[in-house]
């Protein structure tokens, strides 16, 4: 069937817009990421003299970088509506965030919807697949202290040991508050069939919208970061003794991301903006860490139950377009998450001005030396 003139114009406009957005994203990365690295190189003396102030500044720069990523989706009309508990109430406490994983856009969605949650973004640590280390943002995550985990049975035990060592070394020394992980261990489309086969073999519920989570990283985080008074066992080793003011991990935030028609947004869509404006829905449930069992078998059952509940939440969402109301209530309340365009423009401007400043500085030094 031949394409009409109107359809051709629409396709042409979409392609031009995608090309311009991609060029902006590349330029954004070329100035923002090197500027972040160079600022922190210059501030190394402060790291020696006052590490707390150094990591505060690093956290602010890190939040701005994530805001730039959020702006790519925000300006394309990819917005967020939030449901369930208000996580702003615990934004100053230590928390572990458990998220279902459908596509690369899940991370971008979190980068967006956590921007207005106080100090959360600059004080959070991410657990992500090791392949992310080799992306353009990998150097930023390395400096910030995120943990890159290698998937697969052959690496599992070693990775859990490395995770515990990483948490003990970096989590509280850099004043981290929230830690984000995807317990399913991969994208839904890649793990669903294996998870369903495992569930059938072990007489567990059949899940379509999520997969059964893996317990290893969650267990290590709880053992390492929960304060002794919470579970009666040492946690964090020397890190806890050095940070005696820390109350330890206090909350588990069960986060469920839902896309209309179960069509997740990937990073390519987020960058190029070729999909029509889309509202992503994010549901939160907050659990006190004292209510989370420490024993492996009980913790496994507890974590499975959270993902069975996610399945029910997503089933209801895909059938009705909304999440169900909390128990005891007749209506679910949603909240539109907003970002300030002025603030986003200011951050982008700072990035490009910083890039220009560093370029002029290196040009000056080059002419002085040569």
152 has a pLDDT exceeding 90: no
Nearest to 255 by CA among 100, 121, 105: 100
Nearest to 102 by CA among 187, 186, 181: 187
pLDDT level of residue 232 (50, 70, 90 thresholds) = very low
Rounded-to-integer distance, Cα 83 and Cα 336, Å: 9
Evaluate whether 280 touches 318 at the Cβ level (below 8 Å).
Answer: no
176 has a pLDDT exceeding 70: yes
Whole-number average pLDDT of the chain: 90
Nearest to 109 by CA among 150, 137, 81, 148: 81
Mean pLDDT, range 72-99, rounded to an integer: 95
Evaluate whether 228 touches 249 at the Cβ level (below 8 Å).
Answer: no
pLDDT, position 246: 66
Say if pTM beats, i.e. exceeds, 0.75. Answer: yes
pLDDT, position 237: 43
Evaluate whether 330 touches 53 at the Cβ level (below 8 Å).
Answer: no
pLDDT, position 46: 97
State pLDDT tens for residues 309-356. Answer: 999 999 999 999 999 998 878 888 899 999 999 999 999 999 999 999
pLDDT, position 244: 43
Mean pLDDT, range 251-262, rounded to an integer: 96
231 has a pLDDT exceeding 70: no
Q: Which long-range contacts (CB under 8 A, 24 or more apart) does 297-303 make?
A: 299/215, 299/218, 299/219, 299/222, 300/215, 303/98, 303/183, 303/213, 303/215, 303/218
Give the H/E segment covering residue 84: strand 78-84
Q: Rounded to a whole number, what is the largest CA-CA distance in the chain? A: 74
State pLDDT tens for residues 29-72. Answer: 999 999 999 999 999 999 999 999 999 999 999 999 999 999 99
Domain 78-227+247-339 adopts which CATH fold? Glycerol-3-phosphate (1)-acyltransferase (3.40.1130)
Strand order in the sheet with 78-84: 147-149, 124-129, 178-181, 95-99, 251-258, 278-288, 78-84, 334-337
pLDDT, position 236: 43
The SS3 of residue 33 is: helix
Mean pLDDT, range 250-257, rounded to an integer: 97
Nearest to 170 by CA among 106, 228, 123: 123
73 has a pLDDT exceeding 90: yes
State pLDDT tens for residues 216-227. Answer: 999 999 999 997
Max avg pLDDT among 127-131, 137-141, 229-233: 137-141
234 has a pLDDT exceeding 50: no
State pLDDT tens for residues 130-145. Answer: 888 888 889 999 999 9
State pLDDT tens for residues 348-363. Answer: 999 999 999 999 999 9
- Which structure tokens are listed for 99? 């998220």
Nearest to 289 by CA among 26, 33, 98: 98
Rounded-to-integer distance, Cα 132 and Cα 73, Å: 20
Evaluate whether 218 touches 303 at the Cβ level (below 8 Å).
Answer: yes
Mean pLDDT, range 160-183, rounded to an integer: 95
pLDDT level of residue 240 (50, 70, 90 thresholds) = very low
pLDDT, position 178: 96
238 has a pLDDT exceeding 50: no
Start-end of H helices in the chain:
5-42, 44-49, 51-74, 105-113, 138-144, 153-166, 188-201, 216-225, 228-231, 238-242, 267-272, 296-320, 341-369
pLDDT, position 304: 96
pLDDT, position 241: 40
φ, ψ (nearest 5 deg) of residue 100: -75, 155
Tell which wins on pLDDT, 132 or 212. Answer: 212
245 has a pLDDT exceeding 80: no
Give the H/E segment covering residue 96: strand 95-99
Evaluate whether 217 touches 126 at the Cβ level (below 8 Å).
Answer: no
Domain boundaries, the chain: 78-227+247-339
243 has a pLDDT exceeding 50: no
Percent of the chain with pLDDT over 70: 94
Nearest to 180 by CA among 107, 78, 250: 107
Nearest to 151 by CA among 186, 114, 100: 186
106 has a pLDDT exceeding 90: yes
């Amino acid at each position: 069937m031949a394409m009409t003139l109107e359809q051709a114009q629409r396709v042409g406009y979409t392609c031009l817009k995608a090309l311009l957005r991609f060029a902006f994203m590349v330029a954004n990365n070329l100035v923002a990421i090197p500027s972040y690295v160079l600022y922190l190189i210059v501030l190394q003396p402060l790291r020696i003299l006052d590490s707390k102030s150094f990591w505060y500044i690093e956290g602010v720069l890190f939040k701005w970088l994530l805001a730039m990523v959020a702006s790519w989706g925000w300006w394309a009309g990819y917005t967020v509506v939030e449901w369930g508990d208000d996580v702003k109430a615990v934004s100053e406490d230590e928390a572990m965030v458990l998220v279902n994983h459908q596509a690369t856009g899940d991370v971008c969605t979190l980068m967006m919807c956590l921007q207005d949650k106080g100090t959360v973004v600059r004080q959070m640590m991410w657990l992500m697949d090791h392949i992310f280390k080799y992306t353009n943002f990998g150097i930023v995550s390395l400096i910030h202290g995120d943990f890159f985990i290698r998937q697969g049975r052959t690496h599992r035990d070693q990775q859990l040991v490395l995770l515990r060592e990483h948490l003990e070394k970096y989590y509280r020394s850099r004043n981290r508050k929230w830690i984000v992980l995807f317990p399913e261990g991969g994208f839904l489309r890649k793990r669903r069939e294996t998870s369903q086969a495992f569930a059938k073999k072990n007489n567990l519920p059949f899940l379509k919208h999520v997969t059964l989570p893996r317990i290893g990283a969650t267990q290590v985080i709880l053992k390492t970061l929960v304060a002794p008074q919470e579970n009666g066992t040492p946690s964090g080793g020397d890190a806890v003794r050095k940070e005696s003011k820390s109350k330890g991990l206090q909350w588990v935030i069960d986060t469920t991301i839902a896309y209309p028609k179960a069509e997740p947004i990937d990073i390519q869509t987020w960058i190029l903006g070729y999909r029509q404006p889309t509202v992503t829905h994010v549901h939160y449930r907050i659990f006190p860490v004292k209510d989370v069992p420490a024993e492996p078998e009980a913790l496994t059952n507890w974590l499975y139950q959270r993902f069975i509940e996610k399945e029910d939440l997503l089933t209801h969402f895909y059938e009705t377009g909304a999440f169900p109301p909390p128990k005891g209530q007749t209506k679910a309340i949603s909240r539109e998450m907003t970002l300030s365009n002025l603030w986003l423009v200011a951050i982008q401007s700072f990035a490009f001005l910083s890039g220009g400043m560093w370029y002029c500085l290196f040009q000056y030094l080059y002419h002085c030396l040569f």
